[in-house]
Structure 1
Amino acid sequence: MDWKKRTRLLLAATVMTGLLASCSGNDSGNDGPSSASGGSSPQGTKGQSESAGVNATGFPIVNAPIKLNIFAGQAPSAPADWNNVEIWKEYAKMTNVDVNWQLTPVDSLTEKRNLLLAGGELPDAFHTARFTSVDLANYGGQGLLIPLNKLIDEYAPNFKQLMEKYPEIKKGLTMPDGNIYSLPTFYDPDFKSVVIGSELWINKKFLDALGMKEPETTDEFYEYLKAVKTKDPNGNGKNDEIPYAASGITGLIDQLKGAWGLGNRGNTHPRVDVDPKTNQLRFIPTDPHYKEVLQYVNKLYKENLFIPEILTIPGKEMLAKGSDGLYGSFLYTNADTFGDHKDDYIGANAFAGPNGDRLFSRARSPLVDVGGFAITNKNKYPEATMRWADYFYGEEGSTMFFMGIKDKSYVVKPDGSVDYTDEYKADPEFGKKYVSWAGGYYPAMLTAKTFKGGESSPANLEAAKKIEPYYPKEVWPPFTYNQDELAQFNALGTDIGNYVDEMTTKFVTGDAPFSEWDNYVSTLKKMGLEEYMKIYTAAYERYEKQ
């Protein structure tokens, strides 16, 4: 295949699309970079912004009711109709802002969202719409999403304070043109268990039955998995234990690569880090140490130490199969779904590798999702919309967003902490009446005080504490790309990423022998890897200078 020719064609097509969209778009102006200095609480003396007709502080946000059409991505675990969720009904009363939620299932989210942006029938805002930094630079550059710098400065005191406290937020959101086009999902950096997300869990009951200590190295992890496979740790006389379970192999590879010194800037950029020998950006999937990671995973696969359907099994089915406590290890948020067996598991540590490297390479940036909320050029009330969204970046709004309605879905304890009601805990469907955050990618700030989901369990907190000493010294947020870079970067990234995924699976399963490694690396170079890394490096250098 002529990869360079394909890239040129995709580049031309994307540029033409951008030009057409720019001509049809409504120019909302460019506010330029914000000073983002100062800040105040959203509660206080009520003021009036003459230019916007919106109350600058306090509630209601506007004195005369307004209506907003907001497009949102709906995860399978989220409520079916957000218009009937209690927090949104209550918030409408508080603000005088009535939201008509236009929900799209996540399976078709990107396609539907992009069709709206291409066709011009835009909502007033996008919420939980999973915009990447590339999307934001593209649609913001076309004028379809408006710059938020001035709105943040004047109408978002909570978010403004967050940017001052955590400079990486502004660095991760500011596009090369100086504009911010979105509000993010942001996790408190000190709340490590939720920043980490999914954990690798080890069956402590199996360890005890086998007389083994908790694995600390990749060799010990292998020996443990092999023992689970062959030594009947559940003692039922059957060879029914499953050493490792997950939906796919990517998570395990990302977990293990730190044992070979890879992923030293975290997993927001899973294929790029810094080569400590040259201090230059490194494409991880062509590094010789990555070959060693795949050889290790290939050994586990060949010896049948994985759940048989690991490459195809959906996450829900994988969890259902673990309900009998047969997993020796698995990768997921926690073991709560396993009922009576949920306490069998402990969080694994970061493993030391054959060369002494020990790094938790699956670390994420607390700027989890850059594209949680964006305002379109069709919005007649951008000031009120910004105030509406900003509330959820303060403690009061964060509590409401994640916990729901006081004394109905959550209670305040004597020590001031909050917890879900017994009814909420007992019935998973009960929570859907009150909150809509399930599935992630929401525009809000999440803290240990305001969030009581699975990641806040004692087991998760203990697992995060164990991992923290091996956290990378720096974890990159997403980088940003300018209009001149976008088309080529997208085209190259898609082709290269698909090929890496294909060959990673083949190397792991043995469908491609490791004697083909040099040919694999050579093919990536022919596909334009050098040009791809030049664009990546330019984005990294911009990030460093901010």
Structure 2
Amino acid sequence: MLKTKRWTRAMFASVMTASMLAACSNDAGTPPPGEAAPSGEQATEGQATEGQGGSAVSESGFPIVQEPIKLTFFAGKAASAPADWNALPVWQQYAKMTNVEVDFQLTPAESLAEKRNLVLAGGDYPDAFHTARLSTADLMNYGQQGIFIPLNDLIDKYAPNFKKMLEQYPEVKRGLTMPDGNIYGFPTFYAPDFTSVLIGSKLWYNQAFLDALGLKEPETTEEYYQYLKAVKSTDINGNGQADEIPYAASGYGSLLDELKGAWGLGNRGNVHNRVDIDPQTNALRYIPTDPRYKELLEYMHNLYAEGLLVENLLTIKGPEVNALMDEGLVGSSVTNSPHAIGGVTIEHFVGAPALSGPHGDRIFSRARSPLIDPGAFVITDKNEHPEATVRWIDYFYSEEGSKLFFMGIKDLSYTEQPDGTLEYTEEYLKDSSKFVSWAGGWYPAMLTAKTFKGGEASPESMAAAEKVKPYWPEEVWPQFLYTAEELTRFTPLHTDIDKYVSESTDKFITGDLPFSEWDNYVATIERMGLKDYLELYTAAYERYKQ
């Protein structure tokens, strides 16, 4: 039996490494300073109950347990995150507050999936997984095996902050509840009123270029095209060289997603960037086979063919784009915030509005759900203190906990101004890695405009977000959830179709595949199993609606 169970785990682990409709994690921004949480709360504020491991667990207040306990967390470390979380003031402070000492065992992001799956398959896994990039398929798989424990009852009794959030935002609860009725993970949650962070990267115009050309801010796809052409044909910087770059970014994906709404596509946001609702039939629509998607690709091809996109679009890296923007050579880009990129201040860029397209459509198709990463934190069946662990994680879904997680310790990594706003200290700005661990995303916490001071919170990014809010989709979908049986059918379909569409999109844009082949392209996708793919997708969608 043991050998069979381990083989099953290994098999599922290999299947689940494919990312299906994964939500975007946080776009990299300038890390904010950290703040400390109040340490004066006492366990007497809430009743203490006997935990599963025999320790008295307070239902509210601090410390969480009267007798200290130790927990081991497997954690994924992004390249931008600190090398040793155990030495950070934020976690040392929280250990004192809670009487819960956590040993963060870090694995680099580049080897995270392999190491995590090996640990789970071998059975030598820790008390919890924190920032481990677990997919919804992982949650369902390991939850049904009993490796990840159900959280429903524990949330109800020991997670007042998280419980309140689920009640306030029922779409988040629907997005977290697996087909078996259980919740297995604590997510990354973006406050819905923090529009800038829900968007992440934004489309920006170079205002200095617009002024020099005597142009108003483009509001349609035609005006945007004319602006890019003007940048291409004008020696704006007066150096006698044709070195101005109309549009620069790493790849075309973000611009394509930005422009979809101008053709009426992406009307349920960008978590499902290739599926939305067909307004004619009210059924699910596979966007890459829609005739309007062909029009969009033709528009993108024209930009590419006329040299309006940076020459090495498919290979250039983000830092290289930032350098070009910093030199004042770029007319437009999709990026997080030019005013807060890696400590560099790139001037003159203003956020673009959602563009209106040739048929009069104007949807901000890059909208994201507040539910970003459903598997940011899970508790395993090895954990002898699940009640205390739920109390431990629940704090980060409160404003004070969010402040501690993102800002660190008051007067050490941040200060609080008389008006209540928070500002990082000089020490934090010199080296944020000495104070907090959130850089790189995928964390279990609530992110708000007050407690997060990354690039998305800059005045320029906040102003950019206001421009697109009027065109926000009426409904934005989170990830959908599939049963284990559905996944065995859906995963290969999704993998094969997605790969073919991505490769074909490249070729249509670059001209390697002529648009005379469009019908053959659509027919190929249909032969690959599009009907079955959409039937499975629809089943998951119907569950989400219920």
TM-score scaled by length of structure 1: 0.90
CA contact (8 A) 2:339 2:458 kept: no
Specify the alignment match of 1:8 in structure 2: none
1:17 and 2:8 aligned: yes
Instruction: Report the alpha carbon displacement of residue 540 of structure 1 after superposing the two structures with TM.
Output: 0.5
Specify the alignment match of 2:83 in structure 1: 80
Change over 3 Å in CA distance of 1:42–1:319 after alignment to 2: farther
Higher mean displacement: 50-59 or 402-411: 50-59
The structure 1 residue matched to 2:215, chosen from 208, 212, 217, is: 212
* Separation (CA, whole Å) in 2 of partners of 1:299 and 1:383: 58
The residue identity in structure 2 corresponding to 1:493 is H
- Describe the superposition over 1:309-340 as per-residue Cα deviations: whole angstroms up to 9, x where unpaired: 22112222322332212111111110125778
Specify the alignment match of 2:205 in structure 1: 202
- Describe the superposition over 1:238-279 as per-residue Cα deviations: whole angstroms up to 9, x where unpaired: 211111111111111100010000000000110100000000
Is the partner of 1:342 in helix, strand or coil?
A: coil
Q: How do 1:487-498 and structure 2 match up within 5 A? A: 487-498=488-499
The structure 2 residue matched to 1:381, chosen from 385, 394, 412, is: 385
CA contact (8 A) 2:340 2:455 kept: no
Is the partner of 1:101 in helix, strand or coil?
A: strand
Q: How do 1:137-286 and structure 2 match up within 5 A? A: 137-286=140-289
CA contact (8 A) 2:43 2:63 kept: no
The residue identity in structure 1 corresponding to 2:406 is F
Specify the alignment match of 1:10 in structure 2: none
Q: How do 1:279-294 and structure 2 match up within 5 A? A: 279-294=282-297
Specify the alignment match of 1:423 in structure 2: 427
RMSD of the TM alignment (CA)?
2.1
Specify the alignment match of 1:464 in structure 2: 465
Change over 3 Å in CA distance of 1:159–1:325 after alignment to 2: same
Is the partner of 1:202 in helix, strand or coil?
A: strand
CA contact (8 A) 1:15 1:487 kept: no
- Describe the superposition over 1:211-231 as per-residue Cα deviations: whole angstroms up to 9, x where unpaired: 111010111111111111110
- Describe the superposition over 1:96-133 as per-residue Cα deviations: whole angstroms up to 9, x where unpaired: 21111121222222222222222212121111112222
Higher mean displacement: 61-70 or 142-151: 61-70
Specify the alignment match of 2:301 in structure 1: 298
Q: How do 1:258-407 and structure 2 match up within 5 A? A: 258-337=261-340, 342-407=346-411
The residue identity in structure 2 corresponding to 1:417 is T
CA contact (8 A) 2:9 2:121 kept: no
* Percent of aligned pairs with the same amino acid: 61
Specify the alignment match of 1:513 in structure 2: 514
* Separation (CA, whole Å) in 2 of partners of 1:153 and 1:78: 32
The structure 2 residue matched to 1:130, chosen from 133, 145, 150, is: 133
Higher mean displacement: 513-522 or 265-274: 513-522
- Describe the superposition over 1:385-433 as per-residue Cα deviations: whole angstroms up to 9, x where unpaired: 11111110001110000100000111111122222123323x2xx2111
Instruction: Report the alpha carbon displacement of residue 135 of structure 1 after superposing the two structures with TM.
Output: 2.1
* Separation (CA, whole Å) in 1 of partners of 2:128 and 2:266: 35
The residue identity in structure 2 corresponding to 1:111 is E
Higher mean displacement: 379-388 or 263-272: 379-388
Instruction: Report the alpha carbon displacement of residue 434 of structure 1 after superposing the two structures with TM.
Output: 0.8
Higher mean displacement: 316-325 or 190-199: 316-325
The residue identity in structure 2 corresponding to 1:524 is I
- Describe the superposition over 1:281-315 as per-residue Cα deviations: whole angstroms up to 9, x where unpaired: 00001111111111111111111111222211222
The residue identity in structure 1 corresponding to 2:350 is I
Instruction: Report the alpha carbon displacement of residue 232 of structure 1 after superposing the two structures with TM.
Output: 1.6
CA contact (8 A) 1:14 1:487 kept: no
* Separation (CA, whole Å) in 2 of partners of 1:334 and 1:433: 24
Specify the alignment match of 2:18 in structure 1: none
The residue identity in structure 2 corresponding to 1:396 is E
Is the partner of 2:232 in helix, strand or coil?
A: helix
Is the partner of 2:121 in helix, strand or coil?
A: helix
CA contact (8 A) 1:409 1:434 kept: yes
Specify the alignment match of 2:16 in structure 1: none
CA contact (8 A) 1:49 1:56 kept: yes
* Separation (CA, whole Å) in 1 of partners of 2:78 and 2:345: 27
Instruction: Report the alpha carbon displacement of residue 15 of structure 1 after superposing the two structures with TM.
Output: 13
- Describe the superposition over 1:451-481 as per-residue Cα deviations: whole angstroms up to 9, x where unpaired: 1111111111111111000000000111111
Instruction: Report the alpha carbon displacement of residue 483 of structure 1 after superposing the two structures with TM.
Output: 1.5
* Separation (CA, whole Å) in 2 of partners of 1:51 and 1:420: 38
CA contact (8 A) 1:323 1:337 kept: no
- Describe the superposition over 1:185-211 as per-residue Cα deviations: whole angstroms up to 9, x where unpaired: 111101101111111110000000011
Q: How do 1:10-159 and structure 2 match up within 5 A? A: 17=8, 45-52=45-52, 53=55, 54-159=57-162
Aligned length: 512
* Separation (CA, whole Å) in 1 of partners of 2:528 and 2:273: 19
Instruction: Report the alpha carbon displacement of residue 42 of structure 1 after superposing the two structures with TM.
Output: 10
Instruction: Report the alpha carbon displacement of residue 514 of structure 1 after superposing the two structures with TM.
Output: 1.1
Change over 3 Å in CA distance of 1:501–1:15 after alignment to 2: farther
Specify the alignment match of 1:412 in structure 2: 416
Specify the alignment match of 2:539 in structure 1: 538
CA contact (8 A) 2:482 2:540 kept: yes
Instruction: Report the alpha carbon displacement of residue 134 of structure 1 after superposing the two structures with TM.
Output: 2.1
- Describe the superposition over 1:504-533 as per-residue Cα deviations: whole angstroms up to 9, x where unpaired: 111111111111111111111111111111
The residue identity in structure 2 corresponding to 1:292 is E
* Separation (CA, whole Å) in 2 of partners of 1:256 and 1:270: 12
Provide structure 2 residue ranges, at least 5 long, that are not aligned to the other structure.
14-40
CA contact (8 A) 1:127 1:373 kept: yes
Is the partner of 2:71 in helix, strand or coil?
A: strand
Instruction: Report the alpha carbon displacement of residue 62 of structure 1 after superposing the two structures with TM.
Output: 1.7
Is the partner of 1:336 in helix, strand or coil?
A: coil
The residue identity in structure 1 corresponding to 2:232 is K
